[in-house]
Amino acid sequence: MEPICITSRSNPEVMLAASLLQKKYREQRGLFIAEGVKLFEEAVSSGVGIERVYVSEKQKGTLLPIVFSALGGSRYQNVPIFLLSEAAFEKISSENSPQGIITVINSLDIFKKCTKIYKKDFESEENSRALALCSVRDPGNIGAILRSAVAFGYRSVILSSDCAELTSPKTVRAAMGALFKISLTVVSDFASLFTSAREAGRRVLCAELSERAVSLRELVPREGDVVVIGNEGHGIPAELSRLADQSVYIPIAPSTESLNAAVAASVLLWELGGKG
């Protein structure tokens, strides 16, 4: 497992990695980057598809022993390791203070895309609680919500296709490895989630302020609940909210207008039964 040394910023390997900083190339290649030691270790421990690893020559003394040890098993023994000059590494890094390691991961191992959600999709989840995100646009919020979902024992998250991109560097950074530990589905017909969940005997709960919303303090959680979090500014569209079984709100001080979407999601996931 000898690292391949690269000094030029225009080397094809460097150009490949740099292209993954852009959404269109991530989608074309089915690859994305995870930057930092923790995300490298999380990717390895989760067994996701690692395509290659880039290490900064400046930090090779510290990082190469970590990389060699982590990739020593049979699954990753053929993963190429590239040792980049400081200038070449800066070209592919999106961090202000890079830790000197970037992992390229196969996005097909992380999530699936589909047109609709079907009844069988919920039946296969063995009645575990699920989280759904509708038009959540901030990648930092998406990442933080996924991190909370994993921490509180949720096994699947369904996202509308207009949510922030799962594999953007900001989402990956904010999720802190949660992307590798939970079932993620991006669906274009988000309304199908509501009808299919109810057909499978699940209760769909929309987190929102509305006339029929009940306080989180009064709601009795059930196994199989599907919690829906809406857009940061506009919430959940009325035509979708009408399809839900119940709306629920978090009681807060009158002097406070609202909670951040990620904070609200964390409170709901904990109170509705996610205890890790």
pLDDT in tens, 41-68: 999 999 999 999 999 999 999 999 999 9
Residue pLDDT, tens place only, 171-202: 999 999 999 999 999 999 999 999 999 999 99
Q: DSSP characters for 135-175?
A: S---HHHHHHHHHHHHHTT--EEEEETTSPPTTSHHHHHHH
Can you tell me the mean pLDDT for 246-274? Answer: 89
Query: 139, 174 in Cβ contact below 8 A?
Result: yes
Where does the chain hold its CATH 3.40.1280.10 domain(s)?
111-271
CATH topology of domain 111-271: Alpha/beta knot (3.40.1280)
Where does the chain hold its CATH 3.30.1330.30 domain(s)?
4-108
H/E/C letters for each residue in 26-93?
HHHHCEEEEECHHHHHHHHHHCCCEEEEEEEHHHHHHHHHHHHHHCCCCCCCCCCEEEECHHHHHHHC
| Position with higher pLDDT, 120 vs 104 | 104
| Position with higher pLDDT, 136 vs 222 | 136
Query: 225, 198 in Cβ contact below 8 A?
Result: no
Enumerate the β-bridge partners of residue 207: 248
CATH number of 4-108: 3.30.1330.30
Q: pLDDT at position 188, please?
A: 97
